[in-house]
Every structure is written in C-alpha cells, then in structure tokens.
Amino acid sequence: GAVVSQHPSWVICKSGTSVKIECRSLDFQATTMFWYRQFPKQSLMLMATSNEGSKATYEQGVEKDKFLINHASLTLSTLTVTSAHPEDSSFYICSARETGNQPQHFGDGTRLSIL
C-alpha cells in the first residue's frame, strides 16, 4: 500500500519551454503533497507544501511564479516548471501523506534536463 506514482521519470527539453510533472497517490487520499528538489550528490530540499484545494506554501527562496504547483484533487498534484532554463535541471521528487501524523511516501522522482 501507500504507492506514489510520479510521471514522467525523465524529461529533456529545450530552454524556454514549460514542463509539467505529475504526482499521484494510487491507493490513498493525500491531503498533503510535498515537492522536493535534489541536486547531484546532495540531500533533498523542500520546495513547497500543497494541501488539496489550497494554494501551495513555498519555502524561502523558491520562486512561486517559476514553480507552479496545483493540488486540485486528493490524488493528484502537479509541478510546472515555467520557462525552464539549464539551471532548473535537477531531480524533482514528490511525496504524499494521508493525514497529519502519517509518514510521507515518495514517488520515484523526475530527472529534468534543460538543454
């Protein structure tokens, strides 16, 4: 149980395009989803927290207009990297939790490469 699916797993695109990443909880309802970014050989850094039906809460230093997060249903959150540039290349990982004290379950991540 507690499976989180992230799509796509890899994406390569040209600079200036926008890229959407989906995060789905397959067998539970996720009241909260989290988006992390992981640079090579580094730890995960939380970008934002999203609650279903509410605006996402972004961490300090994360541009909300650059990284658009939508959490329109209890099983789906999307992260859109707008006008992506090479410095946005990274590994993006989502996680989801059911209720307040349940642990987060992670997706398999999306490797984003901007040329």
Partner 1 sequence: AQSVTQLGSHVSVSEGALVLLRCNYSSSVPPYLFWYVQYPNQGLQLLLKYTSAATLVKGINGFEAEFKKSETSFHLTKPSAHMSDAAEYFCAVSDTGGNKLVFGAGTILRVKS
Residue 18 engages partner 1 in binding (rule: CB under 8 A): no
How would you class 104 by CB atoms within 10 Å of its CB: exposed for 0-12, middle for 13-18, buried for 19 or more? middle
Residue 109 engages partner 1 in binding (rule: CB under 8 A): yes
Angstrom distance (rounded) from CA 49 to CA 34: 5
Task: Provide the CA 96 distance to its chain's centre, in angstroms.
Answer: 10
Residue 22 engages partner 1 in binding (rule: CB under 8 A): no
Residue 90 engages partner 1 in binding (rule: CB under 8 A): no
Nearest CB to partner 1, comparing residues 19 and 47: 47
> No. of H helices and E strands in the chain?
0, 11
Residue 34 engages partner 1 in binding (rule: CB under 8 A): yes
Angstrom distance (rounded) from CA 51 to CA 32: 5
Residue 42 engages partner 1 in binding (rule: CB under 8 A): yes
Q: Which spans of this chain sit near partner 1 (rule: CB under 8 A)? A: 4, 6, 9, 32, 34, 42-44, 46, 49, 91, 93, 95, 97-109, 111
